[in-house]
Amino acid sequence: MSAETRRVLVTGSAGFIGYHLCKELIGAGFEVVGFDAMTDYYDVNLKRRRHQILLQNPAFRATEARLEDVDALGEAFADARPDIVVHLAAQAGVRYSIENPRSYVETNILGTFNLLECAKEATLEHLLMASTSSVYGANPDMPFVEGHPTDAPLTLYAATKKSNENMAHAYAHLWDLPVTMFRFFTVYGPYGRPDLALFRFAKAALEGRPIDVYNHGKMTRDFTYISDLVKAVRLLIDAAPQPVEERKATIEADTLSAVGPHRVVNIGNGQQTQLMDFITELERSLGMEIEKNFMDMQMGDVPGTWANSDLLENLTGYRPNTPISEGIDRFVEWYLDYYNINRDC
Ligand X SMILES: NC(=O)c1ccc[n+]([C@@H]2O[C@H](COP(=O)([O-])OP(=O)(O)OC[C@H]3O[C@@H](n4cnc5c(N)ncnc54)[C@H](O)[C@@H]3O)[C@@H](O)[C@H]2O)c1
Shortest distance, CB of residue 93 to ligand X, whole angstroms? 7
Please identify, using beta-carbon distances, which residue of 111 and 241 lies nearer to ligand X.
111
Shortest distance, CB of residue 157 to ligand X, whole angstroms? 7
Concatenating the DSSP letter of every residue in 151-206 gives: ---SSHHHHHHHHHHHHHHHHHHHH---EEEEEE--EE-TT--TTSHHHHHHHHHH
Please identify, using beta-carbon distances, which residue of 33 and 130 lies nearer to ligand X.
130
Q: Which of residues 198-227 bind ligand X (CB under 6 A)?
A: none
Among 14, 156, 236, 279, binds ligand X (CB under 6 A): 14
Do residues 87 and 76 make contact, with C-beta atoms less than 8 angstroms apart? no
Structure-derived torsion over alpha carbons of residues 284, 288, 294, 299, reported in degrees to the nearest 10 = -60
According to the binding rule CB under 6 A, does residue 262 interact with ligand X?
Answer: no
Do residues 216 and 295 make contact, with C-beta atoms less than 8 angstroms apart? yes
Among 76, 84, 86, 91, binds ligand X (CB under 6 A): 91
Helix ranges (DSSP H) in the chain: 16-27, 44-55, 70-80, 96-99, 101-104, 112-121, 156-175, 197-206, 226-237, 275-286, 310-316, 324-338
Among 28, 38, 145, 211, binds ligand X (CB under 6 A): 38
Please identify, using beta-carbon distances, which residue of 62 and 279 lies nearer to ligand X.
62
Residues 64-83: x where in contact with ligand X by CB under 6 A, - otherwise, as a string: --xxx---------------
Classify residue 58 by burial, with Cβ atoms within 10 Å: 0-12, 13-18, 19+: exposed
Active-site annotation holds for 157: yes
Tell me, by CB under 6 A, how many residues bind ligand X. Answer: 28
Please identify, using beta-carbon distances, which residue of 142 and 244 lies nearer to ligand X.
142
Among 169, 193, 231, 263, binds ligand X (CB under 6 A): 193
Q: What is the DSSP letter of 244?
A: G
Concatenating the DSSP letter of every residue in 99-135 gives: H-HHHHIIIIIIIHHHHHHHHHHS--SEEEEEEEGGG
Q: Which of residues 114-173 bind ligand X (CB under 6 A)?
A: 130, 132
Structure-derived torsion over alpha carbons of residues 25, 31, 37, 41, reported in degrees to the nearest 10 = 10
According to the binding rule CB under 6 A, does residue 60 interact with ligand X?
Answer: no
Among 6, 10, 33, 47, binds ligand X (CB under 6 A): 47
Please identify, using beta-carbon distances, which residue of 171 and 223 lies nearer to ligand X.
223
Residue of 42, 104, 157, 225 with catalytic role: 157
Shortest distance, CB of residue 144 to ligand X, whole angstroms? 13
Own/partner long-range contacts of 323-326 (Cβ < 8 Å, ≥24 apart): 324/223, 324/225, 324/273, 324/277, 324/278, 324/281, 325/281, 325/284, 325/285, 326/225
* Candidate ranges 13-21, 26-34, 115-123, 301-309; the one touching ligand X (CB under 6 A): 13-21
According to the binding rule CB under 6 A, does residue 271 interact with ligand X?
Answer: no
According to the binding rule CB under 6 A, does residue 9 interact with ligand X?
Answer: no
According to the binding rule CB under 6 A, does residue 62 interact with ligand X?
Answer: no
Among 184, 201, 278, 306, binds ligand X (CB under 6 A): 184
β-pair partners for 184 = 132, 267
Among 36, 222, 228, 281, binds ligand X (CB under 6 A): 36
Among 6, 8, 10, 12, binds ligand X (CB under 6 A): 12
* Chain residues that interact with ligand X, rule: CB under 6 A: 12, 14-18, 36-39, 41, 47, 66-68, 88-92, 107, 111, 130, 132, 184, 186-187, 193
Catalytic residue list? 157
